[in-house]
Amino acid sequence: MDLPRSGSGGENDAVPQDEWDAANPRGHLATRLRDVIARRWSAEVRAIGVHGSLAHGDDTDASDVNLVVVTYRSGAGPRPALRRVDGILVDLTVLTADEGLRQARDLTADWPLIADRYVTSRALHDPHGWFAAQRDAHLSRLAESRPAEFSGLARRNWCRASAAHARAVHLAQWYETDAALLLMAEARLHAALVAGLLSRTYFRNRADAVRRTGLGGADMTELSAVLKSQAEELTARGRPVDGSLAALFE
């Protein structure tokens, strides 16, 4: 079994409130949010936790609070939200227990960017071990997956990277520098996702993806060489990135 790889291991055990660093305003805010939600929707909420830098334990003053609220039924609990609270950005996700487990078993082209939230989470309220169940569901899905699934998802990202790169080159020729830079950023990200899918490596976020794949500073020529190499690898894995009309429907 090829396990996903990241900079830190997964942690899904419940963490008592008093283990947060008292000087950490993000941890303090997370526990305040937990207490309010658990009190107001006590009969609706099954679990509450965080993912991202708070779950990894390396958050900084620039970090967000990525809070996950798991409910028993759809439409229950607080509403999803994205806003600042006491100067800290809070990204509040609300989903049902069944929905969360279903998502954990769904492999998509964005897998390298979303797997971390399944593998590494920090439970603030989880009496029935839901976050551990979500992690197990995701790892079980990975164990069942075949290389062709990841290669197929990688081809999607390769096509997006190649198209963005081609448009960036065209815009640069017409001195549309700002637009070209935006498209180059998009091309680098999708090329990084190709690398992540082919190696079954997940990343903490977009910045981590381009940094760890060495694509953060790649210029147009360098990125072109990377895309060519990736196209050759995808072809060697059984299906070229460019083919006939008939191959489109195979």
Domain endpoint, select from 126, 144, 162? 144
Helix H or strand E encompassing 71: strand 65-71
Residue span of the structural domain in which 89 resides: 17-144
* Structural domain includes residue 10: no
Task: Pull the structure tokens for residue 48.
Answer: 């509450």
Helix H or strand E encompassing 163: helix 147-173
Distance CA 169, CA 193 (A): 21
- Looking at the structure, tell me whether residues 127 and 76 fall in a common domain: yes
pTM value is 0.90
Q: Based on the structure, what is the number of domains in the chain?
A: 2
Please give the single-letter amino acid code of residue 241.
V
Domain endpoint, select from 144, 175, 201? 144
Measured between alpha carbons, how far is residue 12 from residues 95, 134, 207, 223 in Å? 18, 9, 24, 37
pLDDT tens by residue, 189-210: 999 999 999 999 999 999 999 9
Give residue 48's pLDDT. 98
Give residue 244's pLDDT. 84
* Structural domain includes residue 3: no
CA 80-35-56 angle, to 5 degrees, is 70
Give residue 239's pLDDT. 85
pLDDT tens by residue, 132-170: 999 999 999 999 999 999 999 999 999 999 999 999 999
**Nearest CA-CA partner of 53 in 132, 120, 126, 103:** 120
Give residue 20's pLDDT. 65
CATH of the domain at 134: 3.30.460.10
Give residue 22's pLDDT. 65
3-state secondary structure of 238: coil
- Looking at the structure, tell me whether residues 152 and 167 fall in a common domain: yes
Give residue 9's pLDDT. 40
- Looking at the structure, tell me whether residues 121 and 154 fall in a common domain: no
* Structural domain includes residue 46: yes
Sign of CA dihedral 123, 125, 127, 133: negative
Low-confidence ranges of the chain (pLDDT < 50): 1-2, 5-18
Residues in contact with 12: Cβ distance below 8 Å, sequence separation at least 6, in sequence order: 120, 121, 122, 123, 129, 131, 132, 134, 135
Task: Please state whether 75 falls in left (phi above 0), alpha (psi between -120 and 50) or beta.
Answer: left
Cβ of 247: how many Cβ atoms within 10 Å?
10
Place of tokens 């990084």: 192
